[in-house]
Amino acid sequence: MSSTQCPKCKSIINSTTIKCPNCGYLIKDNPNTSVNNSIAPKKPSNGCGIALLFIFGFLILFFLIKQCSKTEDKIDYSSKLDTKLLKKDSIKNQARIDSIDKQQKIEEEKFSKTKAGKIHKKHPEWSKEDCINISEHKIWIGMKYEMLVYMRGKPNNVNTSNYGNGPNYQACWNDYDPSCFYFDESQIITSYN
């Protein structure tokens, strides 16, 4: 059963009642009276709720913007730090390279003052190892005939032979041991005795 309020005395009465039992006011005859008014309390208007929701949304948006700007600051700081580290590494690497270059120049100067260095200066087409071996009077298979001539001077005799695969040569020095060396047109020593 629904209840209503008497417009005159404001007492709560049955909505089907035609006349207020307290004051005798005719409810059915009064067009301003609503028969279905209930006693339920009026709901508060949604204006405050909407305002609170708007403020809450604004705070969330503000918080997100702040967080994003902090991330950008961190990224910017990080990239600046990376750039500084790269510059430091670059400077260190350049110093290391300069040090290595300086050390190589020192070693190059020392080498150029040795007997092998002087040979290499005269014959830059020969490797440093070959020049060192020549300075130590070492002989090896694969050395060039001109290296032997540099070490020993001209041979006492050079013999040519041809066994069907092109000319072969034998160069002999009488005062040295080993005395005879064999090579082909490439002039690379293939054997000696």
Question: What is the pLDDT at residue 142?
Answer: 94
Would you say residue 52 lies in a domain? Answer: no
Contact status, residue 150 vs residue 142, Cβ threshold 8 Å? no
Beta strands in the chain (DSSP E): 3-5, 12-14, 157-162, 167-172, 180-184, 189-192
- Examine the domain organization and report whether 150 and 171 are in the same domain: yes
The whole domain housing 152 covers 139-192
The pTM of this model reads 0.49
Angle (CA) 187 190 193, round 5° = 115
Could you tell me if 146 and 185 lie in one domain? Answer: yes
User: What burial letters (b/e) apply to 86-114, b meaning 16+ CB within 10 Å?
Assistant: eeeeeeeeeeeeeeeeeeeeeeeeebeee
Confidence (pLDDT) at 118? 93
User: Does residue 156 lie in a domain region?
Assistant: yes
Residue 115: what pLDDT? Answer: 94
Does some domain include residue 83?
no
Per-residue pLDDT of the chain (193 residues; tens, 9 = 90+): 688 888 888 888 888 888 888 888 887 654 444 444 444 455 556 677 788 888 989 899 988 888 877 655 555 566 777 777 788 888 888 889 999 999 999 999 999 999 999 999 999 999 999 999 999 999 999 999 999 999 999 999 999 988 778 899 999 999 888 999 999 999 999 999 9
**93, part of any domain:** no
Q: Is residue 145 part of a domain?
A: yes
Q: Do 132 and 143 fall into the same domain?
A: no
CA angle 136, 141, 146 (to 5 degrees): 65
SS3 68: helix
- Measured between alpha carbons, how far is 43 from 83 in angstroms, rounded to an integer? 63
Could you tell me which of 27, 23, 1 has the C-alpha nearest to residue 14? Answer: 1
| Per-residue pLDDT at 38 | 44
User: Total structural domains in the chain?
Assistant: 3
Say whether both 173 and 184 belong to one domain: yes
pLDDT of residue 1: 61
- pLDDT digits over 15-71, tens only? 888 888 888 888 765 444 444 444 445 555 667 778 888 898 989 998 888 887 765
Residue 49 CA to residue 143 CA, distance in Å, equals 100
Residues 143 and 188 in one domain: yes
**pLDDT (0 to 100) of residue 42:** 56
What are the phi and psi torsion angles at 5 (to 5°)? -120, 140
Residue 72 confidence (pLDDT): 52
Q: What is the pLDDT of residue 140?
A: 94
